[in-house]
Amino acid sequence: MIKIRFLCLLLYPLVPGPVWAMQAISDTDLASTTGQSGLTYVTSSNTMLGGSSSLVQWNPDAGNTSTSATLEIQGLQFNGIGGQGVGIGPSGVSTSGAFALTTNFDVGSNGSTPALDINSSWTRTRTLVPTVVLLNAAGTASTYGYGSLAMDSSGSLNFTNVGGFLNGSSKNAATQLYLTIGSPQVGMGNTAPGSYGQIYYQQGGAGSPEMIIDKLYMAMGFNPQVGGVFGACGTTTSCGGTAVGLSSGGFASGSTGLYLGSPKLDFNMTYVLAYRPTPSATAFTTATSGSDIIENLGTFGWTGSFDNAELLLSSGGMWSDTGTYNPLNPAGRSQGLNIDFHANYDPNFNWVIGEGSGQAVLDFGGWNNLTGAQWGLNVPNLTLDVINANQGPGGLCWGAQAYGNASSCSGASVQWVNGEVSPGAYLDLAPSSTALGLAVRGMSLQAYSTSVTLYDYLANSTRNFNWGLMYTLGQVDGNLYLYPGNAAGNGNGLTADLMLMSQSFANNSYPLLNNTNFMIVDTTTNLGFGLAQANLLLAAHQLAINLTTAGIQLSSPDMRMEVQGILGGGPVYSMTSSTFEKMMYVDVNLESNNFNLTLSQGTQNNLPYLAYTGHITLADTTQSGSTIGVGGNANYISLAEPSNPSANFMLANITGDLNIINGQVFLISAADTIDAPDGIPRLELANTVQMGSTAGGQAVTANVKFGGAQLGSIAIPSGQIYSSIMLKPQH
Pick the more confident residue, 310 or 323.
310
Q: Is the dihedral of CA 293, 664, 355, 457 positive or negative?
A: positive
What tens digit of pLDDT does each residue of 612-648 get?
Answer: 999 999 987 765 556 787 766 679 999 998 888 888 8
Of 419, 449, 576, 451, nearest to 518 by C-alpha is 449
Does the structure show a pLDDT above 60 at 295?
yes
Q: What is the pLDDT of residue 565?
A: 94
Lowest mean pLDDT, pick from 249-258, 596-605, 679-688: 249-258
Q: What is the pLDDT of residue 727?
A: 86
Q: Hey, is 329 helix, strand or coil?
A: coil
Does the structure show a pLDDT above 90 at 205?
no
Hey, what amino acid is at 412? A
- Ramachandran angles phi, psi of 29, nearest 5°: -75, -25
Does the structure show a pLDDT above 90 at 238?
no
C-alpha span between 482 and 146 (Å, rounded): 9
What tens digit of pLDDT does each residue of 515-560 get?
Answer: 999 999 998 888 999 999 999 999 999 999 999 999 999 999 999 9
Pick the more confident residue, 91 or 473.
473
Q: What is the pLDDT of residue 568?
A: 94
Query: CB of 607 within 8 A of CB of 628?
Result: no
What does pLDDT average to over the chain? 81
State the average pLDDT over residues 113-139.
86
Does the structure show a pLDDT above 70 at 234?
no
What tens digit of pLDDT does each residue of 246-261 get?
Answer: 445 677 776 677 888 8
Pairing of strands 113-129, 99-110: antiparallel
What is the percent of the chain with per-residue pLDDT over 90, rounded to a whole number? Answer: 42
C-alpha span between 476 and 503 (Å, rounded): 7
Q: What is the pLDDT of residue 236?
A: 34
Domain ranges (residues) in the chain: 1-315+346-376+446-465
What tens digit of pLDDT does each residue of 302-322 get?
Answer: 988 898 888 888 888 898 766
Residues in the chain: 731
Categorise residue 549: left if φ over 0, alpha if ψ from -120 to 50, beta otherwise: alpha
C-alpha span between 292 and 207 (Å, rounded): 9
